[in-house]
Amino acid sequence: MVIRRIRHHVETHNWFAVFIDLLIVVVGVFLGTQANNWNEGRIKRSEAADYRREIIEDLKSNELDLSSRAAYYGAAKSHAISALEALQAPGGKLGTPFLIDAYQASEVWLRPLTRIGYDEMVGNGLSSSVGDREVRSRLTAYYTQIRQFDVTALTLTSYRERLRRTLPYALQSEIRSKCGDRVATLPGGAQIAKMASACTVQLDDAAAQSAVAKLQSADLVEDLTRHIADIDQKLSGFERFGRAAHDLRLRLQSADP
């Protein structure tokens, strides 16, 4: 309709009317573009706010996860040190408590940290829309370092392999049934584990002594020593990244949407 009117005004040489018609078209296009940009900006801000909330929930999950892992591996370390001291004690008589310590020391809880919200945000090109420059920089640093953290957190040592290859399966199964992990599921679906604080296992004395002899002949001292050092490295990472997740969450919660 506008084009028809412009053509008519051109044919009648009504140049002022042509100018007005063109001005109306230009203003209409401009306003339409502005409205579209405003709507896209509103949608983008809403999506960024959703991802911000999701990342905050992921960080809360990471904090709880890392705290539970610190407790879990702290318990594993206590068992490991007890087993190492028993192996190194001259003339000490080893029995069921040693077997429990040796087995529990080999327990692990392996899973990468939760990062779904951040990865989806980056994949949708909204990483520049969450928080100010400093918050975005800290987000990038945290999630970049998580990859290296996961390498350490998911590492297995030779001690676990040698212990579980040497200890008779029937005894492993009995210890596991009485001293197995207590697993809980977080609201987001992630699971955390807690090692049994105490457990009683009734093992046949002859079977226990046979298993002890096998573990002694396997020469586990060096592997167990290395295993304890690996646990120390994991515990350090849990503490460091737990603090980083906490600080980053507080910054995101206080940042402008």
pLDDT digits (tens, 9 = 90+) for 185-208: 877 677 888 898 888 888 888 989
Q: Distance between CA atoms of 115 and 246, rounded to whole angstroms?
A: 14
pLDDT at 190: 75
pLDDT at 254: 83
Q: Distance between CA atoms of 37 and 91, rounded to whole angstroms?
A: 81
Domain count, the chain: 1
Low-confidence ranges of the chain (pLDDT < 50): 43
Residue positions counted in the chain: 257
Write out the two tokens for 243: 């603090």
pLDDT at 191: 80
**Does residue 170 form part of some domain?**
yes
What is the span of the domain harbouring residue 94?
A: 54-254
DSSP 8-state class, residue 241:
H
> Could you tell me the pTM of the whole model?
0.79
pLDDT at 193: 87
**Does residue 155 form part of some domain?**
yes
**Does residue 80 form part of some domain?**
yes
